[in-house]
Amino acid sequence: MLTKRLVNRFAGPEDPVKNPEFRTRVGILEGWVGVIVNIILFLIKGAMGVMSGSIALIADAIHTLADMATSIVVIVGFRIARKPFDEEHPFGHGRAETIATLVVAVLLIVAGVEFLRSSIERLIHPRILNISWFMLGILFVTLVIKEWLARFSRKLGRQIGSDALEADFWHHRTDSIATGLVIVSFILARFGVLWVDGVAGIGVSIIIVWTGFTIGRRSVSHLLGEAPTDEEVEDIRRTALAVDGVEGVHDIIVHRYGESEVISLHIEVDSNEDPMDLHTISEIVENRISQGKPRLVVAHIDPVNRDHPHYEAIRRLLDTAVAEDSRCESFHDLRIIGSAEHFNVLFDIAVPSHLGKKEEHSLKAKITSLLEKRFPGIGVIIEIEPMFVQRH
């Protein structure tokens, strides 16, 4: 209920027409809520950490401060990401959100390593902690607040499909877990188990480092360029095949720039069609795939001549060869040039990205041999290309 009220008050209605900046406003809202809540929690935890002398609680307070920094980065990232394209960045600034997340991940790892060192020292040289049940009660309240903030971030992140908010959720969630560990160490310390403060500090530090590593790895993966999901590929393929005149689809490539996408694909069409009609088909495909979404779509035309007398026989042979060889993912762009007696066949074979050059040459030789045995007057030209989309 509170989340909905905050969104309605500060982000407005979720309407891409009436409120095109809804996504940005939600991201900035989450960031500011995180900043305010984390400042309050940092001051509370930091003060209690100093008063109690607990290294685990001080580490937890710094973790909370890092979460505040993360929220600031989220705000900055969303503000930069919404900037329009310019001459230097023709696809916009959508990846600023990912870069900002990577920066925070690195800072988290550095902070975690430093507190790991301090916690090990505390484990070797334990200290008596000045703890009261009142302080434990306050800590428990901060844990509840932090868990609410984590769920708030996740709900908004899923609502707008933001990896940055999902990363912020994990920052908040690990902070609540860290606070829980500190509470346990405090309770045990009241019964004379002093070494547990250092152990809890080590636990908190490991959580911080692991969170930073996980988020950083994911951010790097986004920046390098990830393959689309099977569902996304199937949706693009199905949309293109629904257009009259499209006989096949391959080489689907998706580049992401924040919430925007640049998509390219090859569509197979009848080579006997009029060039103007083929151009119209490609435009219809582009418009349907991009409809209602922030996408730039380019559909490349691949004319296919199915009238050659050997076309079906060659296609069936290649279907069988690809199905029986684990090195092959698929083939496409089958073209046949020449007469029934003397002709050249050209096509592309898609292979897994890990396949080596030696295996590629072996695969080419095998399929060429199969075709030459079946069709004595044939010339074979095969192009090997990696799969842009892997089958799962």
pTM higher than 0.75, yes or no? no
Answer yes or no: are the C-beta atoms of 189 and 130 closer than 8 Å.
no
Element (H, E) at 180: helix 163-189
* 19 pLDDT higher than 70: no
- Residue 35's pLDDT is 93
Residue pLDDT, tens place only, 292-315:
787 889 999 888 777 788 888 988
Q: How confident is the model over 100-118, as a mean pLDDT? A: 79
Q: How confident is the model over 358-363, as a mean pLDDT? A: 86
Residue pLDDT, tens place only, 137-155:
888 888 999 899 999 999 9
Q: Which residue has the higher pLDDT, 365 or 205?
A: 365
| Fold of the 2-224 domain | Alpha-lytic protease prodomain-like (1.20.1510)
* Buried residues in 354-380 as b, exposed as e (16+ CB within 10 A): ebeeeebeebbeebbeebeeebeebeb
Sort 343 into a burial class: Cβ within 10 Å, 0-12 / 13-18 / 19+. Answer: middle
CATH numeric code, 230-386: 3.30.70.1350
Q: How confident is the model over 79-100, as a mean pLDDT? A: 78
Q: Which residue has the higher pLDDT, 194 or 366?
A: 366
What values do phi and psi take at 254, rounded to 5? -125, 120
Please give the mean pLDDT across all residues of the chain. Answer: 82
* 239 pLDDT higher than 90: yes
Of 70-84, 177-191, 242-256, the range with the highest mean pLDDT is 242-256
- Residue 33's pLDDT is 93
- Break the chain into its structural domains and give their ranges: 2-224, 230-386
Element (H, E) at 49: helix 22-52
* pLDDT confidence band for 20 (50 / 70 / 90): low
